[in-house]
Amino acid sequence: MAKCEFCDKDVKFGIAVSHSHRRSNRTWKPNVKRVKAVVNGTPKRVYVCTRCLRSGKVQRAV
């Protein structure tokens, strides 16, 4: 679910390193919102990251 339909930003995996250098697996999830946007001239519910919303890549439907 956590994937932007405009810029394809999705979950990233990596390793969290503590102060004592113990390592554990972790994930970074994008800030994705479900909004009603205009896609190909018709309003449609899509998952969009907040960066695409802020930058104006997505035109929200009224």
| Mean pLDDT of all residues belonging to the chain | 94
Where does the chain show beta strands of DSSP type E?
Answer: 12-17, 23-28, 32-39, 42-49
Q: Per DSSP, what are the bridge partners of residue 46?
A: 35
Q: Give CA–CA dist 23/61, Å, rounded.
A: 44
pLDDT digits over 34-55, tens only?
A: 999 999 999 999 999 999 999 9
Q: Give CA–CA dist 56/12, Å, rounded.
A: 24
pTM as predicted:
0.76
Return the closest-CA partner of residue 46 out of 30, 56, 59: 59
